[in-house]
Structure 1
Amino acid sequence: MVLTASRYRTATGAGVIAALILVLVFGSPVYRDWAHDNADPNTAGGWFLNLLAWPAWSFDADKSVQDVLAADLKAILVVVFTALFLALTTGAQLGAARGTFSQLIAGWSGYIFAGALAGLLTAFIRSDASLLGGFQAAGTGAIYGLFVGWIVGVATLGHRRGSAP
């Protein structure tokens, strides 16, 4: 008896792949430096290009270990929390229908919550940790999720919501 893998990708898997690509590409030091040097943050396009780099990860020896750890953990947690929130909102109990508007909203909102929670939790690891800094980091993460999360939402469209049969 030959076992074949399902050809269906779940909405959660598709959203996590999109989140991982966003974090790896736009959070990279190369992109972050390019956006900082070439995109004017006083224009809408430049502001968005700089916002894409929010879950920045790096291995910068000039920063404190706490700050590097917080930045790297934030990038990881954005992807992990995206998986968690997508799994909770696109579970098998919602059925196997594809391409519905609810998948877009689930992916988008999952990314908003993932960004906010990752920002909040990692703000307390930083060397200058404070409650105000945690609130500001959560707000920045939510703004990041609001303006970038639609990409994750679109990635979840058309895929099975729960486990493939």
Structure 2
Amino acid sequence: MALTNRYKSAVGAGTLTALILVLVFGSPWYADWAADNTRSDTALGWWLQLLSWPRWRFDSDDTFRSILVADLKAILVVVLTALFLYLLPGSQLARARGTLSQFFAGWGSYIFAGGFAALLTTLFLANPSLLNAFTAAGAGSAYGLFVGWIVGLATLGGRRGTSR
């Protein structure tokens, strides 16, 4: 484990974790399972359903625009996570790898990524409005708040950028 942490990039580890979260829990199969087998009036059921928020799908019954918006949201969550992990200075300023600043930088990156992905994809809807954009951004930020700690844990101990 010590060898993997020595060469692990915080940005790469966080981005890979975000990609896995979106691919696995955003899949139509998981989303259907969570909707059918969990209850949203319990904490665990609510969280298991929340995991499927950046859904991606390829259903032939939907319009191309709705499929594009759903898939774009999932793609943007991963891309924006990488961008925010690179831009957030918390782990750059930390004296030692593995500090809480790396954890919070990873977690914060996922919160921002969820909020901005939802905000940007709302602009591509048929009738975008400022209220819908704010509501979507709130849902995306809530997703990042309750799921982003996983990305934060993945970034712990990783090196920053290309320097050692």
Give the TM-score, by structure 2 length.
0.91
Aligned residues: 159
- Cα shift readout 1:25-60 (whole Å, capped 9, x = no counterpart): 000000000001111111111110110000000011
Matched, 1:147 2:137: no
Give the C-alpha shift of residue 130 in structure 1.
2.1
Match of 1:17 in 2: 16
- Cα shift readout 1:71-113 (whole Å, capped 9, x = no counterpart): 0000000000000000011588536731010000000000000
Give the C-alpha shift of residue 67 in structure 1.
1.0
Instruction: Determine the C-alpha separation between the residues in 2 that align with 1:106 and 1:117.
Output: 16
Instruction: Determine the C-alpha separation between the residues in 2 that align with 1:105 and 1:42.
Output: 29
Identical aligned residues as a percent: 62
Give the C-alpha shift of residue 128 in structure 1.
4.0
In structure 2, the gaps of 5 or more residues are: 1-5
State the SS of the aligned residue for 2:131. Answer: helix
Q: Is the 2:115–2:140 Cα contact (8 Å) retained in structure 1?
A: yes
Instruction: Determine the C-alpha separation between the residues in 2 that align with 1:121 and 1:15.
Output: 21
Instruction: Determine the C-alpha separation between the residues in 2 that align with 1:105 and 1:91.
Output: 8
Match of 1:94 in 2: 93
Match of 1:137 in 2: 136
Partner AA of 2:14 in structure 1: G
Matched, 1:29 2:28: yes
Match of 2:125 in 1: 126
Matched, 1:84 2:83: yes
Q: If each structure's helix is expressed as a fraction of its own residues, which one has the higher value?
A: 2
Q: Sort the Cα spacing of 1:81 and 1:51 in 2 relative to 1 into closer, same or farther, 3 A.
A: same
Which residues in structure 2 correspond to 1:27-106 (within 5 Å)?
A: 27-90=26-89, 93-94=92-93, 97-106=96-105
Q: Sort the Cα spacing of 1:47 and 1:96 in 2 relative to 1 into closer, same or farther, 3 A.
A: same
Instruction: Determine the C-alpha separation between the residues in 2 that align with 1:101 and 1:8.
Output: 19
Give the TM-score, by structure 1 length.
0.91
Instruction: Determine the C-alpha separation between the residues in 2 that align with 1:67 and 1:121.
Output: 14
- Cα shift readout 1:121-142 (whole Å, capped 9, x = no counterpart): 0012123422211111100000
State the SS of the aligned residue for 2:73. Answer: helix
State the SS of the aligned residue for 2:157. Answer: coil
Instruction: Determine the C-alpha separation between the residues in 2 that align with 1:147 and 1:95.
Output: 24
Match of 1:111 in 2: 110
- Which 4+ residue blocks in structure 1 deviate beyond 6 angstroms? none
